[in-house]
Structure 1
Amino acid sequence: MKKITIAIDGFSSTGKSTVAKQLAKALNYVYVDSGAMYRAVTLYAMQHGIISEAYFNVDRLVTELDHVQIGFKYNATLGFAEVYLNGKNVENDIRTLEVSQHVSRVAEISEVRRMLVRQQQVMGKEKGVVMDGRDIGTVVFPDAELKFFMTASAETRAKRRYKELLERHEHVSYEDVLKNVMSRDLIDSTREDSPLIKAQDALEIDNSDMSLVAQFEKLYNMAQRVINQE
């Protein structure tokens, strides 16, 4: 059976990672969370005093990019690969609201994007990969055989993110989460380098009122049709 590349783009908190993991597992494909890579760079910048709410030393971050080593290690218990930054598991550390508040600013930096896009393209060169992010179908894999663009209302996405953060025992308010979602949408969609846009050949999926099961089945059936095409 032939292998394909599946690119899943979309706004924050649209469930891209959840359905991408499900697809990869069902198809026995490699899953790559490109957003986690940007979050890992952001965490590095936070840990080293490069970025804060009022300060961002872009030149220093660019200079230190060679010191940022990002990897994925499969966790059989969880059923997906966790993110490692310079040899340390940071899967939980990169999912905080604080990282979310800074990641779009880091992702705007062209040097950061070039470094991570190169790594992502290497990860997917053999096909049989499901990758989600903001520019997978437009920049990383413009020739991907199957592209999805996930969307949902800002309020729906904020509620999902708020619930997720509460489950991680973070002390946050819904209003702050909604503000963060809308701010990230604006930055991601208007940045000069690789803005978040729907690829012309991407299939748009609005999952505002769609269950996780229905969403997975819809994408899985589409993937099977493409894989089985002669």
Structure 2
Amino acid sequence: MPPHEAASTCYQGKPVLARLNHYHVRSAIMSSTCILSALAILLGLFLPISAARAEIQQAAAAGYIRALFDANMMPGSDTSRICSDVAGFGRFAAGHAWQSLGQEERLRFAGKFCALASEAVDRLRRRWPGLHLVIEEANEGPQGLQIVSSLVRQSDGATWPVDWTVALDEGPAPRLADLKILGVSLGIFLRTIAQLRAGAPATADQLIGTWRRALDRALPPTLPDGDLLK
């Protein structure tokens, strides 16, 4: 091989192609190392922020449920103020029936559902006076919702496990999205009986009427001894 060809194919005793491959491998390793280091830094910064945000949201959800319970279950409280808190829950319970309602029917539904929710809370408070809420924990649920697990304790010490689903990102204030009593979703239960009995398409009056009859069976407007719940 001529000397000039040998000089062009070798560099410091190593083939040029091998040197180039070695260079690219080192570059790739260095690039990967840099990327992994950057990811580690970003994760190190992001994870504490994410964890702190989750803790803040869970504390906000638990605080909201505490305030909601105390505001409506205390003797003499005005349960009609519950309307803004349960509006989204009512739409969730109505399900597809809500989508079929016109604008005027939706407004009618909102007003009637507010009145029904207020009456249900009032009956619950009168039937079991002295209910106490014990919040156990709050955790992130599906779709960014927060789940607040609690026990509702009666005056005799008996308890009901209640899980409250709270929406924090819908509007300027937290809202009640659903609640589970003894593991049963109240929203799904109301939707099911509405589908079975209200008919399709249902009007606001039919939906609320179906739910009111269910309320009368579950929590009659009279005490066991026959006295009215007044």
Higher relative contact order (CA 8 A, sep 6+): 1
TM-score, normalised by the number of residues in structure 2: 0.24
Q: Which has the larger radius of gyration?
A: 2
Higher helix share: 2
